[in-house]
Amino acid sequence: MTQTSDNVTWLTQEAYDQLKAELEYLSGPARTEISKKIEAAREEGDLRENGGYHAAKEEQGKQELRVRQLEQLLENAKVGEAPADTGVVAPGMVVTIAFDGDESDTVTFLLASREYASSDIETYSPQSPLGSGVNGKKVGTDAEYELPNGKMASVKILEAKPYQG
C-alpha cells in the first residue's frame, strides 16, 4: 500500500518489488520489442499512411511515460509496513463510510495511491477530497469534505481495516 506525504510515497516491500519489476521490464525487454515493431513498420515504406508505424510509435510514447512515472515514484519511495489495525483511517486501509449518517447508503473503498487501483475495489487517493476528509479520522466519527461545487458533504466512518490484497 502507499501513503503519500508531500513527495514521499510509502510502499510495502511487496508493492515496491512489484513496481520495480514493472520498471525493469518496461525499460528492458519491452523497449526492445517496441523498437523491433517500429523498425518492421518503417520497412513497409511510406510512413505517412503506415498505421502500424503510427500505432507502434504511440505505444512507445505511452510506455516511456509509464517508465518516467515509475522512476519518479520509486525515487521518492520509502519502504515500510502496511498500516496497523487501529481503527484510524490511513492510506492502505479499506474504509466503509455512510453518506449523511444514513447507514443504508454506504460505500467501501481502498484509500491508496492510484498505483493500486484495481477492478476488485474502488480506490480513492489520500489527496482526493473524500480521501483527505477521512484520512486520520477514527471509526465511528464524522468527516467532512468539499464537493466539486464548493459545498461541504458529511460522511460517517463505519469501518477501517488494513487492505489484505
Instruction: Write down the residue that cell numbers 525493469 correspond to.
Output: 24
- Band of pLDDT at residue 129, cut at 50, 70 and 90: very high
Is residue 6 predicted with pLDDT exceeding 50?
no
- Residue 143: what residue type? A
Instruction: Write down the residue that cell numbers 461545487 correspond to.
Output: 149
**Phi (first) and psi of residue 79, to 5 degrees:** -90, 130
Instruction: Write down the residue that cell numbers 510515497 correspond to.
Output: 9
pTM of the model: 0.58
- What per-residue confidence (pLDDT) applies to 5? 45
The full set of domains in the chain, from first to last, is 2-79 (1.10.287.180), 93-162 (3.10.50.30)
- Tens-digit pLDDT profile for residues 43-63: 887 777 788 888 999 999 999
- Tens-digit pLDDT profile for residues 50-108: 888 889 999 999 999 999 988 888 887 777 666 677 889 988 889 999 987 667 788 99
- Band of pLDDT at residue 18, cut at 50, 70 and 90: confident
Residues 110, 123 contacting (CB under 8 angstroms): yes
Residues 44, 52 contacting (CB under 8 angstroms): yes
Is residue 16 predicted with pLDDT exceeding 70?
yes
